[in-house]
Structure 1
Amino acid sequence: MITSVFKIFKRKDEEIKDKIQLKVQFLHGLEGDLIKEKQPYLEKRFIQCSTPGMKVSRWNIFYTNSFPRCLFRNLFKISKSGSECLKNCLKIQADAILKDQPDVIFGESWGGAIGLLLLAYGYWKGPIILIAPALIRFLRLAGELDITIDDVLNKINENNLGHNILLLHGEKDSTIPYKNSLEILEKTIPQPKQYKIIIKLVLCVFT
């Protein structure tokens, strides 16, 4: 599985002769601006790539799950709004898993946060690649309510699903702190360091 997945890290201009025989579900970032670039990239390399839209945004009020609309629906209670936003996006991705039956999940930034929730709450038990997951940063900014960092990571650990995670993060990431990913690894894979897989990417994984 991992050997097949690593085939995606080829140069963009390299000809793809044989697609990897895996179905992929891509969990996009907060604004989803790069879907037009990343989804075609994955489609060229895998037999199927689904990218369920989460309708999430920092400021765009036309998106159902945008932060302004969540704040308005929750009378501007920040932690409650953050919880609703996470749960709404989680449901979208969980429903897509049932529909599309992927073999592997990719989640970047906000999508990585939702990927961790999928593992914690039992919607996904297969291999998952997380790129700079934003769960810890988001919950520490918005505040924890019924979804907490420790609860999510402990559930993953209790179900022994941390070993399904391949985590990619650049040490110089200025948006999502690299130390957040180290914390995820520490709490989901409580094994000696030689058994942990940490791949450090300073540049975007798709460049």
Structure 2
Amino acid sequence: MAMSLWNPTKRNSVVLGLLSPRAMLTRWPSQWIGGALADSFEACVDVQRTALRDAGPAAFDVLIGSSWGGAVAAALIAEGAWTGPAVMLCPALSELRRHGAIEAIVDQIAALPAERKAQCLIVHGDADETIP
């Protein structure tokens, strides 16, 4: 996904988003971090959405994502870009929620029919210090 929190050489890095003119000119300083996270997240979702679309629905059996990738998987499920089985390992939903970048996704997943939710496995421990 070409994502990194701090590596500005990654196309979808959060720090690169912080340094962009868009971040500095269209947002209040108090919104810079949350906005950069949201921009990076949406860019990563777009990368994966495009990969799924270009490969076709029969190309993959299971969608698996961990941490940031788990949150990206949740977004793809919520918008209907992925309708098959999924495993999300410690999805970074709470971290994104803290910055206001995930509310709609959480609501959309909560509203999925039971048979759709049954295809999704979320693995997360309460001792995870990075993603609570």
Which TM class, normalised by the smaller chain length?
0.7 to 0.9
Distance 2:34 2:129 in 1: 24
Offset of residue 62 of structure 1: 0.5
Does residue 148 (structure 1) correspond to residue 131 (structure 2)? The answer is no
CA shift, 1:163, in A, is 2.0
Answer yes or no: is 1:128 the counterpart of 2:100. Answer: no
Aligned equivalents of 2:52 and 2:90: distance in 1?
21
* Count of equivalent residues: 119
**1:132: how far off?**
0.5
Query: What are the within-5 Å matches in structure 2 for residues 58-137 of structure 1?
Result: 58-73=5-20, 74-75=23-24, 77-100=32-55, 101-137=59-95
Q: Secondary structure at the match of 1:166?
A: strand
* Alpha-carbon distance in 2 for matches of 1:168, 1:157: 17
Larger relative strand fraction: 1
1:1-207 residue pairs with structure 2 within 5 A?
Answer: 54-73=1-20, 74-75=23-24, 77-100=32-55, 101-140=59-98, 143-144=99-100, 147-149=101-103, 151-160=104-113, 161-177=116-132
- Gapped runs of 5+ residues in structure 2? none
Cα separation, 1, equivalents of 2:122 and 2:71: 12
SS at structure 2 position matched to 1:170: coil
* 2:66–2:89 contact (8 Å) kept in structure 1: yes
Q: By how many angstroms is 1:139 displaced?
A: 2.8
Distance in 2 (CA, whole Å) between partners of 1:133 and 1:157 is: 15
Higher helix proportion (structure 1 or 2)? 2
> How far did 1:126 drift?
0.9
Gaps of 5+ in 1: 1-53, 178-207
Percentage of matched positions with identical amino acids: 31
Normalising by structure 1, report the TM-score.
Answer: 0.54
How high is the TM-score relative to the length of structure 2? 0.81
Q: Residues 59-97 of structure 1, C-alpha deviation per residue, up to 9 Å, x if partnerless?
A: 111001111111112116222212211110001101111
What RMSD, in angstroms, separates the aligned Cα atoms of the two structures? 1.6
Deviating above 4 A after TM superposition, structure 1's stretches of 4 or more consecutive aligned residues are: none
